């Protein structure tokens, strides 16, 4: 009778992920056992400490990898290398800022989330829970579970692990999107759309994984890549598998024609969750797409590049053209996100080592501006005829004259909009410059010309909002920017400072991220 031999697992490499998942489990226990009156405070402290500890762990693992080289964990299913650690570091920093906005309450004493998600919108039960001051504190462990999946996503080197990480990061987001405090029916509609379309994308990915396994007999990225060379000329099955897996990842990044969920979900989800999704989910999905393409699709680039270039150009055009005609600020930022996905795809398709660090810098710059912008949106509110402050003022016309009444808040919004537009002295300009430079090095000069034209066109809807805030007088006093407990203001300030700082002194971060090009085969 054979004796079981326990596998040797390099637990140190998994430390950042284990910290986040452990905190998420503790959050579930807090929901079960902690008194309701202190639950929110405990959840916030646990979540913040966990993310901060995970950032420290990533720094520690970076020094270890720099000294000893990359580590393969769980029989090759997980790679700890500079690319994975750089992505995890950016994810954790972005999530820490996003969590400040998620956890905050305004000066009115309300948060972004419904008092009890299980209540029917408009019912007496909902009114009772709201009046009693209940809070949906399950939001915190849900965010941590999703973040844990995101941390695994860019480090996976195995198709099964890739799929599991996708589901772990997605399922909590489906729930979070339906927990808006106001406009609950719109929020629940967004949650349902995201879930249904997400299920379709997962099915595409799973079918693609099956085809790739049928071709290579393995789930490992490296072994699938090796089989490309061994079975040359008979790669139809592999091509179909790569395309289907790519469809699943393109859904997460919001690339056309798989973008249709983006404007509806961004509009309906609680605004802090929208910011978290737009920054963190896009980063994790692009990082996974980069690893997948640079290891497996690299040997098939002649068959796949034309398709991906078409998707990138279509994504830029749809994000630009439809963004121009939007009157809702959250939908405008959604189409802005789609346009940025098209620009970022150039970094994926170029297949150069330079593009890896450049794409991560772009994602960092975009994430900072996005979290800050949605944090501001959460504070700009409507005032009804009776003088009561109600829901968020998302119609663009409601932002008229905001720069005169709330200059600091409007000034921060200008910084984020200029970064989205790629104006010099912002991190967005540096991000676009390094990605476009990498794409030119990869032989995609014509696509960069299209991207530059699209980027110039997107500047229209950013400048339109700036003009409304500073050069247009408000027709009435139906909009006001309210204060918060503090975390949202801190997050907005930090995002604004970092956006300018990375635009003026990008060198240290770019040099650090250049090490991310050390991808394992």
Give the relative orientation of helices 236-253 and 329-349 as an angle to the nearest 10 degrees: 150
pLDDT category of residue 521 using cuts at 50, 70 and 90: very low
Asked which of 251-260, 307-316, 411-420, 473-482 is least confident by mean pLDDT, the reply is 473-482
Mean pLDDT score across all residues of the chain: 88
Average confidence (pLDDT) over 102-131: 78
Q: Residue 153 and residue 251: Cα distance in Å, rounded?
A: 15
Rounded distance, CA 286 to CA 21, Å? 22
Residue 232: band (very low, low, confident or very high) from pLDDT cuts 50, 70, 90: low
Dihedral over Cα of 266, 271, 272, 275: its sign? positive
Residue 415 has pLDDT above 60, yes or no: yes
Distance CA 87, CA 341 (A): 17
Q: What is the mean pLDDT of residues 377-398?
A: 80
To which residue do tokens 């299913």 refer?
77
Q: Name the residue with tokens 């829901």.
A: 391
pLDDT at 105: 82
Give mean pLDDT, residues 247-259: 90
pLDDT higher than threshold 70 for residue 300: yes
Report residue 102 as tokens: 């998620």
pLDDT of residue 520: 42
Q: What confidence tens digit (pLDDT) does each residue in 42-85 have?
A: 999 999 999 999 999 999 999 998 888 888 887 778 888 899 99
What is the pLDDT, as a whole number, of residue 316?
94
Parse the chain into domains and list their residue ranges. Answer: 11-513
User: Do residues 465 and 396 lie in contact, with contact meaning Cβ atoms separated by under 8 Å?
Assistant: yes
User: Residue 372 pLDDT > 60, yes or no?
Assistant: yes
Which value, to the nearest 10 degrees, does the dihedral of the CA atoms of residues 88, 163, 172, 148 take? -30
DSSP 34: S
pLDDT at residue 8 is higher than 90: no
Q: How far is CA 288 from CA 50, 296, 299, in A?
A: 23, 12, 17
230 has pLDDT over 80: no
What's the pLDDT at 7?
65
Which H, E and C letters describe 296-327, residue by residue? CHHHHHHHHHHHHHHHHHHHHHHHHHHHHCCC
Least confident of 57-66, 119-128, 305-314: 119-128
| pLDDT recorded at residue 6 | 65
pLDDT tier at 124 (50, 70, 90 boundaries)?
Answer: confident
pLDDT at 228: 74
Q: Is pLDDT at 17 greater than 60 in this prediction?
A: yes
Contacts of 478 (CB under 8 A, 6+ apart): 382, 383, 393, 398
* Percent over 70 (pLDDT), the chain: 95
Q: What percent of the chain has pLDDT over 90?
A: 57
Q: Residue 446 above 70 pLDDT?
A: yes
493 band by pLDDT with thresholds 50, 70 and 90: very high
- Of the candidates 209, 93, 110, 104, which has an alpha carbon nearest to the alpha carbon of residue 160? 209
Residues 6 or more apart whose CB falls under 8 angstroms from that of 153 comprise 162, 165, 166, 169, 284, 285, 287, 288
d(CA 178, CA 119): 12
Distance, in Å, from the CA atom of 61 to the CA atom of 16, rounded to the nearest integer, reads 9
- Would the pTM count as exceeding 0.85? yes
Give CA–CA dist 475/463, Å, rounded.
20
434/511 Cα distance (integer angstroms): 12
Return phi, psi of residue 79, to 5°: -115, 125
- The mean per-residue pLDDT over the stretch 467-488 comes to 82
pLDDT, average across residues 303-325: 91
3-state SS, residue 390:
strand
Rounded to a whole number, what is the largest CA-CA distance in the chain? 84
Q: How confident is the model at residue 231 (pLDDT cuts 50, 70, 90)?
A: low
Angle between helices 353-377 and 507-514 (to 10 degrees): 130
pLDDT tens digits, one per residue of 278-293: 999 999 999 999 999 8
Mean pLDDT, residues 338-361 taken together = 91
């Amino acid at each position: 009778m054979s004796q079981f031999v326990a596998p040797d697992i390099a637990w140190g490499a998994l430390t950042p992920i284990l910290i986040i998942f452990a905190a998420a489990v503790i959050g579930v226990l807090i929901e079960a056992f902690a008194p309701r009156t202190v639950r929110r405070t405990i959840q916030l402290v646990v979540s913040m400490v966990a993310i901060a500890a995970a950032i420290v762990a990533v720094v520690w693992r970076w020094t270890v990898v720099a000294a000893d080289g990359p580590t393969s964990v769980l029989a090759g299913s997980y790679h700890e290398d500079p690319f994975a650690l750089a992505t995890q570091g950016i994810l954790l920093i972005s999530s820490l800022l996003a969590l400040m906005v998620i956890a905050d309450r305004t000066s009115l004493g309300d948060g972004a989330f419904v008092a009890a998600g299980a209540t029917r919108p408009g019912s007496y039960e909902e009114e009772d829970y709201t009046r009693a001051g209940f809070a949906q504190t399950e939001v915190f462990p849900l965010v941590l579970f999703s973040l844990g999946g995101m941390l695994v996503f860019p480090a996976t080197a195995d198709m099964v692990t890739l799929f599991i990480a996708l589901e772990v990061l997605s399922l909590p987001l489906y729930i979070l999107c339906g927990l808006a405090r106001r406009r609950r029916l719109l929020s629940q509609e967004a949650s349902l759309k995201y879930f249904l379309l997400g299920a379709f994308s997962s099915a595409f990915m799973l079918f693609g994984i099956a085809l790739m396994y049928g071709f290579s007999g393995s789930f490992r990225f490296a072994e699938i890549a090796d089989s490309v060379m061994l079975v040359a000329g008979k790669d139809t099955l592999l091509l179909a598998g790569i395309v289907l897996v790519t469809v699943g990842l393109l859904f997460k990044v919001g690339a056309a024609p798989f973008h249709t969920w983006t404007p509806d979900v961004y509009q309906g989800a609680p605004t802090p969750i929208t910011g978290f999704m737009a920054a963190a989910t896009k980063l994790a999905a692009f990082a996974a797409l980069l690893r997948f393409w640079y290891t497996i699709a690299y040997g098939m680039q002649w068959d796949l590049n034309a398709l991906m270039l078409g998707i990138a150009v279509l994504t830029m055009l749809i994000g630009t053209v439809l963004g121009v005609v939007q009157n809702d600020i959250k939908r405008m930022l959604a189409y802005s996100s789609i346009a940025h996905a098209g620009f970022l795809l150039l970094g994926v398709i170029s297949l150069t080592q330079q593009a890896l660090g450049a794409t991560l810098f772009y994602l960092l710059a975009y994430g900072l501006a996005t979290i800050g912008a949605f944090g501001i949106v959460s504070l700009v509110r409507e005032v009804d005829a009776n003088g009561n402050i109600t829901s968020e003022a998302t119609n663009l016309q409601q932002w008229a004259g905001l720069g005169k009444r709330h200059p600091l808040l409007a000034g921060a919004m200008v910084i984020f909009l200029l970064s989205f537009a790629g104006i010099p002295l912002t991190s967005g300009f540096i991000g676009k410059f390094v990605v476009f430079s990498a794409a030119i090095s990869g032989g995609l000069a014509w696509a960069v010309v299209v991207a530059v034209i699209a980027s110039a066109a997107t500047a229209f809807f950013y400048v339109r909002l700036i003009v409304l805030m500073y050069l247009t007088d408000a027709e009435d006093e139906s909009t006001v920017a309210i204060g918060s407990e503090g975390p949202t203001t801190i997050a907005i300030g930090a995002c604004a400072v970092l956006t300018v700082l990375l635009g003026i002194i990008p060198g240290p971060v770019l040099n650090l991220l250049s090490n991310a090009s050390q991808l394992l085969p």
